[in-house]
Amino acid sequence: MTPVAASIADGNGGSVGKARHVAIIMDGNGRWAKKRMMPRAFGHKRGVDTVREIARAARDMGLEALTLYAFSSENWKRPADEISDLMGMLRTFIRSDLEEFVANNVRLRIIGDYQALAPDIVEMIEDAMARTAANDGTTLAIALNYGSQQEIARAASRAAEKGAITPEAIEAELDTACLPPLDLLIRTSGEIRLSNFLLWQAAYAEMWFTDVLWPDFKPAHLAEALAQFIARERRFGGR
């Protein structure tokens, strides 16, 4: 039995068990490349290979949703050539992997203001989401041009247009409203911060930080994080 497939209860009012939704801040591509005296683009390309490997592992482990932080709203501050490389890799990823998503019952979702990206990328994204919309296996959610503070502000504004602003009303308008509640948030590369990622959703999520750089992150690391998640007691503010 894989760690994520197991489920147990502690018997003391808290709960531990199966993770349904895992999110990952994929950090360390640039440092991985620098250690090898290679350009940052080389690290990003290896990082894309890791995305494929971890997405497949998440499906095999039975996760309902995997959310990956691919490009933040702050990443526009990076050099133009690096942004161009990242957008090119995004195009390649969608073209090369869409048929695998379709064949393996994976649903693709995008969170963030992806419509601000180049028109051809927007068209590719919307086609990919449409073609996988009926799939009911693992949902792979990619955060593109995403910032959690901006997401919360948008959600609160939409909630206000409909009536009273309550936590429930805001949550219903978040980009992740179609996903299960976030159980576990992972960050690679040794950094210990959320970097404007899923701030609302992470309110009661478990956190797991590792020094492993994203291109070196393997299914075994994901399994380790899930095993630790299962062992933790989640009380959600209770005793």
Catalytic (active-site) positions: 27, 75
The terminus-to-terminus CA distance of the chain in angstroms comes to: 30
The residue length of the chain stands at 239
Sheet holding 21-25, edge to edge: 107-111, 139-146, 65-72, 21-25, 184-187, 206-209
Q: Do residues 19 and 64 lie in contact, with contact meaning Cβ atoms separated by under 8 Å? A: no
Q: Give the DSSP letter of residue 182.
A: P
Query: What b/e readout covers 111-128, taking b as 16+ CB neighbours within 10 angstroms?
Result: bbbbeebeeebeebbeeb
Q: Do residues 113 and 142 lie in contact, with contact meaning Cβ atoms separated by under 8 Å? A: no
Measured CA to CA, the distance from residue 34 to residue 163 in angstroms comes to 51
Phi, psi of 185 (to 5 degrees): -115, 125
Within 13 Å of residue 199, how many CA atoms lie on the same side as its CB? 13
